[in-house]
Amino acid sequence: MGTHLLQMGPASQAETDQFRDSHLPTDVEPHVGRIQRIFKGLGLVVGGKAGAGLISLVYLVLATRFLGPTEYGVLVLVHAYVTTVCGIIEFPSWQAIVRYGAEADREGDNHRLGRLLRFGAGVELAAGALAIVSAMALAQFVGPQLGWPPKAMAFAQVYSFAVLGSIRSTPSGYLQLIGRFDLIGLHNLVQPIVRLGGALIVIAFGWGIKSFLVVWLLAALAEFAVLWAMGLWFAARRLGASLWSPQAGDVALDNPGIWRFLIASNADVTLSELAGRIAPLIIGWIMGPASAGLFAVAQRATVIIAQPAQILGNTSYAELAHIVAAGGGGKPLRQTLAKVVGISLLAALPVVVIVAAFPAAIVGLLAGPAFAAASGLMVVLVAARGIALIGPSCTSAISALGHPARSMSANLFSSLVFLPVLPWLLHRYGLMGAGIQAVGQALLASSLLVYFVWHSSRKL
């Protein structure tokens, strides 16, 4: 596949047919083959994530020990503020690229695919620009409430350009569509490598919190630039003139329901990630930057199981979309999904057990004795994340079936129930209140998502 994708010029019809026939499942294909492709894609991406995770642990160890709980908390809060504004305003298009792109690729219609990519990029970049402006405008009002020191306040508006680190779903969606999960895996190394290199320089010269913010900003800009370069490179080689100057056409007519799908899927992504993004801000607002720093360290252990689950949801989405496009959206989809979720839960179980058994040692290794108070919370957050492992793949299945609004409803309802009680829980139980909120929301959201998958697929 790699050689085929690297050939110069747009793909011929014969090449397109060959690629489609060898990569898109049919309605009679055993679900074992689908599972193998999903986990092959997962393996390629997780390989990069594993390397990224190790590098991230190194710069976490350096940053927490150099900055301490309060300044590390400020770093986390500034970044959380920008990513929250971005998460609310951004308009990622990768799900639409994969879903409708699978149909265009199946038909061998490069012009339709070219129009779809240009449309997705335009929508995403326009929303990204709005997110940057909004983050800049609100920083002066939000910062003082979160306890940002003068140096962080002075740089907060410039740091708003870190929004670009999340504005890259269009090239990601296209790389998923053509099966280049290896490149997505390599891209995962970009941010931690830049952060680690920058952290070493900052610590060597004895600089402070502003320099760490500069490093994290540069890492976000690098994420943006590298993935867009990858996506454009392969899209240009495969589609040629169909990308740069596609035949005239209407994207909405090419892809019926795309606007409804985009709005619903984006609302779903926003709501599913809102609690995780806004929780540090609520903690910082009520309890101060030091508590936000403790929460960030406790939450770090959940990344070990959270990232593979999210990647699995993303990689399975491409395969599930192909299953639906081939007319297998009922029993074949449920069989594939059940096995994917089951394997992901079993794979996460050892991590949950280890964290529950050695929380103090893990926190001490990650951040040092100054962060010891995060150990109990870490156990509860890891348990919540284990429950939430069900969610990403179920959300992908619901979106592949063309009903992202149902997933959105599950995430909206669970957020509306549990997020408003977080301030009360923090006042009542201290920092452990954040763990209680996370467990409750994970249980409710996962239960609703399982119900909606079953309800949406049993009719097919």
pLDDT digits (tens, 9 = 90+) for 289-321: 999 999 999 988 777 666 555 566 556 666 677
For 142, the token pair is: 């939000």
Per the domain annotation, does 1 fall within a domain? no
Most confident of 195-199, 324-328, 331-335: 195-199
CB 392 within 8 Å of CB 314: yes
CB 403 within 8 Å of CB 425: no
- What is the DSSP code (8-state) at residue 165? G
pLDDT tier for residue 288 given thresholds of 50, 70 and 90: very high
Per the domain annotation, does 176 fall within a domain? yes
| Cβ atoms within 10 Å of 277's Cβ, excluding its own | 18
Per the domain annotation, does 41 fall within a domain? yes
Residue among 219, 213, 214 nearest 148 (CA) = 213
CB 146 within 8 Å of CB 281: yes
Q: Which residues contact 114 (CB under 8 A, 6 or more apart)?
A: 239, 242, 243, 244, 246
As a whole number, mean pLDDT of residues 243-252 equals 85
CB 69 within 8 Å of CB 150: no
pLDDT tier for residue 459 given thresholds of 50, 70 and 90: low
Per the domain annotation, does 4 fall within a domain? no
| Cβ atoms within 10 Å of 22's Cβ, excluding its own | 10
As a whole number, mean pLDDT of residues 75-85 equals 94
Residue among 330, 332, 173 nearest 262 (CA) = 173
As a whole number, mean pLDDT of residues 424-445 equals 95
Beta strands in 84-210 (DSSP E): none
- Greater model confidence, 147 or 391: 147
pLDDT digits (tens, 9 = 90+) for 322-332: 677 666 567 77
- Greater model confidence, 14 or 88: 88
Residue among 342, 343, 309, 337 nearest 324 (CA) = 337
Q: Is the pLDDT of residue 395 over 50?
A: yes
Domain of residue 45, residue span: 28-457
Per the domain annotation, does 19 fall within a domain? no
Per-residue pLDDT at 227: 95
Q: Is the pLDDT of residue 32 over 70?
A: no
Per-residue pLDDT at 23: 41
30 φ/ψ sector (left φ>0, alpha ψ -120 to 50, else beta): beta
Distance CA 95, CA 170 (A): 9
Per the domain annotation, does 15 fall within a domain? no
Per-residue pLDDT at 11: 38
Q: Which residues contact 285 (CB under 8 A, 6 or more apart)?
A: 145, 146
Per-residue pLDDT at 251: 85
Per-residue pLDDT at 2: 36
CB 370 within 8 Å of CB 68: yes
Per-residue pLDDT at 78: 95
Total domains present in the chain? 1
Residue among 277, 335, 329, 336 nearest 312 (CA) = 336
- Greater model confidence, 380 or 56: 380
Percent of the chain exceeding pLDDT 90 equals 40
Per the domain annotation, does 174 fall within a domain? yes
Per-residue pLDDT at 8: 32
Per the domain annotation, does 23 fall within a domain? no
Average pLDDT, the chain: 82
Distance CA 419, CA 441 (A): 8
CB 91 within 8 Å of CB 261: no
Q: Is the pLDDT of residue 16 over 50?
A: no
| Cβ atoms within 10 Å of 201's Cβ, excluding its own | 12
